[in-house]
């Protein structure tokens, strides 16, 4: 049996808290811990050096994003109170897909009162997921009102740093609130690059086709960060009109723009997008691009109910293991 399955839990913590290099494979033992194991983890966590806590929490957040099976929510919830701002930020990043509505209140408090601006921005970003779930009917609609009002208060603060305003606007994009469209328009017309990019993000989150023309136009913006955001927003808006511009952006000079275009194609889906992605897969020559294409194809299959199988037998990438 593997070490992560047989090692006593105390020894797992010894290794995670002290061993160099960090044994990343043992992080899985922190998922769905038994009560006694979690109590031991909590007791020992406070004695872990700050740098190690920061490293561990960031790895847990990254692992949560890459693996839908693991569950570190109890760890993240406790880490909201950690003395290190970077630990709190990582914990907030880690709950990006959490469904526990009991997290809403502590996340909101962090957005409103934390001493770190980075933590407040991360909290606003974490709340965006709950706005989406309320809009999609995945949590009771009553939760949406207090979240949206709290985000509006933060956005309206005259002395709020711009990055907190950006996070609040992006979180509000999906909200069914009469102020949102005007906020997006004002931010887009502000002439401030950062706010314009966040406005395009919010346009995509709104799922409102009124913004499609603006999003398509921004795919030609000289700023690669805006082109990338426009590509993602176009994918979220889900219009077939974006397929040709997105295909063009898969050949953009900027690598991140190409990745964003692939993501957008996966969001839109359909036969044409699938054909483009399969062609790109055949032409791809690096692991990150292959993984992005595979993720996009997987997302298409989830939404279409179909399984897109890649025939790799005669492909030059046969030896590459694609992430599931």
Answer yes or no: is 132 within a domain. Answer: no
Q: In percent, how much of the chain has pLDDT > 70?
A: 92
Confidence of residue 44 (pLDDT cuts 50, 70, 90): very high
Q: Whole-model pTM?
A: 0.89
Q: Return the closest-CA partner of residue 122 out of 94, 150, 98, 144.
A: 94
153 domain-assigned: no
Q: Is the pLDDT of residue 317 over 60?
A: no
Q: What is the CATH number of the domain that holds 197?
A: 1.25.10.10
Position 254 in a domain: yes
**Distance of CA 92 to CAs 80, 113, 169, 179, 315, Å?**
7, 15, 17, 26, 40
Give residue-wise pLDDT tens across range 140-192.
Answer: 999 999 999 999 999 999 999 999 999 999 999 999 999 999 999 999 999 99
The pLDDT of residue 302 is: 79
For the CA atoms of 238, 228, 255, 300, what is the dihedral angle to 10 degrees? -20
Domain span at residue 312? 186-324
Tell whether 157 is covered by a domain: no
Q: 227-280, pLDDT tens digit by residue? A: 999 999 999 999 999 999 999 999 999 999 999 999 999 999 999 999 999 999
User: Residue 294 domain-assigned?
Assistant: yes
Q: 256 in a domain, yes or no?
A: yes
Q: Is the pLDDT of residue 284 over 50?
A: yes
Structure tokens at 51: 């740098």
Q: Is residue 302 part of a domain?
A: yes
Q: Which two tokens stand for residue 144?
A: 């949406």
The reply to whether 243 falls in a domain is yes
* CA pseudo-torsion sign 312, 316, 320, 324: negative
Task: Please give the tally of structural domains in the chain.
Answer: 1
């Amino acid at each position: 049996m593997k070490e992560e399955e047989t090692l006593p839990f105390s020894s797992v913590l010894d290794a995670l808290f002290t061993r160099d290099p960090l044994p990343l494979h043992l992080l899985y033992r922190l998922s769905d811990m038994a009560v006694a194991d979690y109590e031991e983890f909590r007791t020992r966590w406070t004695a872990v050096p700050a740098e190690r806590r920061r490293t561990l929490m960031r790895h847990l957040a990254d692992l949560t994003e890459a693996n839908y099976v693991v569950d570190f929510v109890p760890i993240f919830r406790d880490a909201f109170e950690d003395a290190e701002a970077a630990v709190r930020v990582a914990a907030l990043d880690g709950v990006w897909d959490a469904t526990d509505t009991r997290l809403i209140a502590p996340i909101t408090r962090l957005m409103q009162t934390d001493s770190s601006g980075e933590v407040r921005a991360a909290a606003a970003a974490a709340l965006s997921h709950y706005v989406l779930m309320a809009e999609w009917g995945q949590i009771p609609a009553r939760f949406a009102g207090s979240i949206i009002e709290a985000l509006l208060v933060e956005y309206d603060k005259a002395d709020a740093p711009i990055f907190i305003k950006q996070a609040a606007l992006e979180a509000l994009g999906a909200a069914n609130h009469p102020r949102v469209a005007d906020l997006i328009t004002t931010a887009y017309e502000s002439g401030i690059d950062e706010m314009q990019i966040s406005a395009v993000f919010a346009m995509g989150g709104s799922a409102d086709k009124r913004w499609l023309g603006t999003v398509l136009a921004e795919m030609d913006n000289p700023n690669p960060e805006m082109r990338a955001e426009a590509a993602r927003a176009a994918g979220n808006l889900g219009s077939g009109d974006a397929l040709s511009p997105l295909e063009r952006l898969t050949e953009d000079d900027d690598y991140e723009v190409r990745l964003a275009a692939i993501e957008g194609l996966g969001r839109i889906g359909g036969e044409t997008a699938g054909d483009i992605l399969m062609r790109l897969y055949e032409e791809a020559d690096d692991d990150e691009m292959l993984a992005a294409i595979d993720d996009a194809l997987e997302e298409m299959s989830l939404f279409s109910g179909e399984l897109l199988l890649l025939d790799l037998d005669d492909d030059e990438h046969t030896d590459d293991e694609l992430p599931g």
